[in-house]
Structure 1
Amino acid sequence: MLEIYGMTLGPIQENGYVVVNSETRKALIFDPGEEGARFINWIKENGWEPQAILLTHTHSDHIGAVDEVRDAFDIEVYVHELEADWLVDPNKNLSAMQPFGLVSLREAEHIWTTDDLGEQTVGDFTFRLAHVPGHSPGHVIYIFDDAQFVVVGDAVFQGSIGRTDLPAGDYATLMGAIAREILVLPAEYQLYPGHGGATTVGAEMASNPFFDVFRR
């Protein structure tokens, strides 16, 4: 059985997630943004065994602890090809715009391409990979159909959507991708965003003001 756990990290209150097989304790890590030592200790205290780090996107608040975490568990990193170089470039990952220090990391070991969209297996875990650009060009989401939950990064929040006023953001692109990849999922699917609390497809379709256009 798959379970998902979150920890809110750093000054921008970003959610890092761990998806765990409750029987084997194997795990996948998503978006370890800050506070690497606290995040690592939490994982160790729970006896989880991470197999990889999967990134939804590479804005600095989602990647700040990546190197610390991957070194602690000797695991590898997955990122979309359109943001592969953002890991090493503080201007692209926007840490150069923030007062919290520059983020420049090692390159990812694995690069998602268009050919990888759809069903994927990493370690002991199978999920669907979908490209949801607009907040950033290489933003992806991870859909766990058997467990009926999705790690959505900064695509959708409770009652809102990801910012599109940042460099390389685009409102129309994000709205189209949300409609195509997220709102078509069953209403009961849980959405785990990069900031704030979890929600469901049905709740957002019913009340998110950004989706009024889809309810007409």
Structure 2
Amino acid sequence: MRIETRAFGPLQASAYLVWSDPERAVLVDPGDEPERLLAWLRESEARPEAVLLTHAHFDHVGAVRAVVEAHDLPVFLHPAARPVYERAAAAAMRWGLFIDPPPAEPLVDLAEGVLAVGPGFEVLHLPGHCPGHVAFYQAEAGAVFSGDLLFAGGVGRWDLPGADLDELKRSIRRLFELPGATRVFPGHGPATALAAERQGNPFVQDWLG
């Protein structure tokens, strides 16, 4: 499985272009800077067939409209994330930022199970940071795209609207049921591994016991 990544926008949210077959790539969390993101897609050998969203906070959906309009792609997100998705542009404005409102269609509801698009991701519903938050796991590649659930040395915020600390803790515990060697590709910052976070992440150590 091939993974390309770039960070976009003032919050430096990570977008990922992932594929086993370059004609069946998926774009995870296209967050901002539409022109720069589209240039990245043009330069890549991969051709996306879908946009996958780990969650719908504005810093992860700001370039969705541009990608959909340029490439005619469906957008996959969990149904519980739709209200956040629909309010994303307004939420950005409250931070003094601007994004293009993400398009209402074509949306495809994510549910737990294996996706038919892309490299065979298993969808894990892991709320707590945001309603409808999911992670995308590829067992054969030993990789999980954790969104804003888990970072190198940290975890997702639980003081935002719709966040829930108890749910976040449950989701962290479930994520750590995956093999320790699993590589973690988070929504912000560098990649890590579950084993490294179990050993060195203070939140994980406290919540896993």
Q: Name the TM-score, length of structure 1 as normaliser.
A: 0.90
Alignment-derived partner of residue 48 in structure 1: 46
CA contact (8 A) 2:27 2:48 kept: yes
1:48-83 CA-to-partner distances (Å, cap 9, x unmatched) read 111000000000000000010111111110111011
CA distance in 1: counterparts of 2:179 and 2:82, whole angstroms: 31
Higher relative contact order (CA 8 A, sep 6+): 2
Q: Which moved more, 1:31-40 or 1:99-108?
A: 99-108
Alignment-derived partner of residue 154 in structure 2: 160
SS of 1:94's equivalent in the other structure is: helix
1:101 correspondence with 2:98:
yes
Aligned length: 209
CA distance in 1: counterparts of 2:98 and 2:121, whole angstroms: 34
1:32 correspondence with 2:26:
no
For residues 109 and 176 of structure 1, do their structure 2 counterparts lie closer, same or farther at Cα, with a shift above 3 Å needed? Answer: same
Give the letter aligned to residue 8 of structure 2: L
Give the letter aligned to residue 4 of structure 1: I
Alignment-derived partner of residue 13 in structure 2: 14
CA contact (8 A) 2:172 2:204 kept: no
Cα deviation for residue 108 of structure 1 reads: 4.3
- Relative to its length, the structure with more strand (as a share) is 1
Cα deviation for residue 42 of structure 1 reads: 1.2
CA distance in 1: counterparts of 2:105 and 2:199, whole angstroms: 38
Correspondence for 1:186 among 179, 192, 199 = 179
SS of 1:137's equivalent in the other structure is: coil
CA contact (8 A) 1:9 1:33 kept: yes
- Unmatched segments (≥5 aa) in structure 2: none
CA distance in 2: counterparts of 1:210 and 1:65, whole angstroms: 31
SS of 1:126's equivalent in the other structure is: coil
Alignment-derived partner of residue 117 in structure 1: 112
For residues 108 and 186 of structure 1, do their structure 2 counterparts lie closer, same or farther at Cα, with a shift above 3 Å needed? Answer: farther
Alignment-derived partner of residue 82 in structure 2: 84
Give the letter aligned to residue 16 of structure 2: Y
- Unmatched segments (≥5 aa) in structure 1: none
Q: Name the TM-score, length of structure 2 as normaliser.
A: 0.93
Query: What RMSD over aligned residues (CA atoms) do the two structures have, in Å?
Result: 1.7
Cα deviation for residue 162 of structure 1 reads: 0.3
